Amino acid sequence: MKGNRYGSSPILWGGSWVYPPYSAGPSYNTRLQAGPAADTDTASLIRELAKAINGEYNAIRTYEWLAREAPDEEFRKIISDIKQDEEHHFRLFSSYYSQLTGGRKPEIKAGPLPESFVKGVEESIKDELEDSKSYQRLSEIVPLPLRRGLINASHDEQRHATWFSYIWNRTR
Ligand SMILES: [Fe+2]
Ligand SMILES: [Fe+2]
């Protein structure tokens, strides 16, 4: 199986044959610490993860605020469940970051909270859709042990966007 567009042979992963990421050799996939050839990839992956961790951190703060401000018990419950997913993403991405950096933590910056409940819901729909897309992209370039987590997170964000659209439709 040489000469395919992935430039490497498929490897057995989770019961099926998959291709390692385009830019890295097979050793990149068997451990999280990348070799010298993949240094640039690793540096940009670490930057992307830091961005994602900041996004999750601010989503948790925003949803805490939205849950408090929710005009209705049903909305509060939906938003609290979404917040729990974000806490899971935050922990997961932080552990990836820590493994790739030898135990470091990214710098976290708190962003502004929403002006109002409806505005916050509206912004959340867009943020969720953007995050879903960027995690999907990231899942295609990460070492295999990280891929499943990013794909799952991407699907979670899609579901969150739909829930926020539901709330938005019922709030206006
Ligand atoms: Fe998330
Ligand atoms: Fe989300």
Among all ligands shown, which has an atom nearest to the Cα of 162? Answer: 2
How many whole angstroms from 81 Cα to the centroid of ligand 2?
10
Query: CB-based contacts of 80: which residues, under 8 Å, 6+ apart?
Result: 63, 67
Sign of torsion over alpha carbons 141, 149, 99, 18: negative
Percent of the chain with pLDDT over 90: 72
> Residue 1: its pLDDT value, please?
41
Which residue's entry shows tokens 């068997």? 30
Among all ligands shown, which has an atom nearest to the Cα of 62? Answer: 2
- Averaged over 105-133, what is the pLDDT? 98
How many whole angstroms from 99 Cα to the centroid of ligand 2?
23
Q: Is the pLDDT reported for residue 120 higher than 90?
A: yes
> Residue 139: its pLDDT value, please?
95
CA dihedral 95, 110, 81, 142 (to 10 degrees): -30
Among all ligands shown, which has an atom nearest to the Cα of 135? Answer: 1
Each residue's pLDDT tens digit, 16-46: 444 444 344 444 444 555 444 456 688 999 9
How many whole angstroms from 132 Cα to the centroid of ligand 1?
8
Closest to 31 (Cα-Cα) out of 147, 138, 143: 143
How many whole angstroms from 164 Cα to the centroid of ligand 1?
13
State the pLDDT confidence band at 172, using cuts at 50, 70 and 90: confident
20-34, 53-67, 137-151, 152-166: lowest mean pLDDT where? 20-34
Decide: 24 and 37 in contact? Cβ < 8 Å: yes
How many whole angstroms from 136 Cα to the centroid of ligand 2?
13
> Residue 32: its pLDDT value, please?
56
Domains of the chain: 37-171 (1.20.1260.10)
Query: CB-based contacts of 139: which residues, under 8 Å, 6+ apart?
Result: 146, 147, 150, 151, 154
Query: CB-based contacts of 111: which residues, under 8 Å, 6+ apart?
Result: 58, 61
Each residue's pLDDT tens digit, 67-117: 999 999 999 999 999 999 999 999 999 999 999 999 999 999 999 999 999
Task: Compute the mean pLDDT over every residue in the chain, rounded to the nearest whole number.
Answer: 85
What's the whole-model pTM score? 0.78
Closest to 119 (Cα-Cα) out of 42, 60, 66, 56: 66
Q: Which residues on adjacent β-strands are paired with residue 16?
A: 13
Q: Is the pLDDT reported for residue 135 higher than 70?
A: yes
How many whole angstroms from 143 Cα to the centroid of ligand 2?
23
> Residue 38: its pLDDT value, please?
56
Among all ligands shown, which has an atom nearest to the Cα of 93? Answer: 1
How many whole angstroms from 160 Cα to the centroid of ligand 1?
9
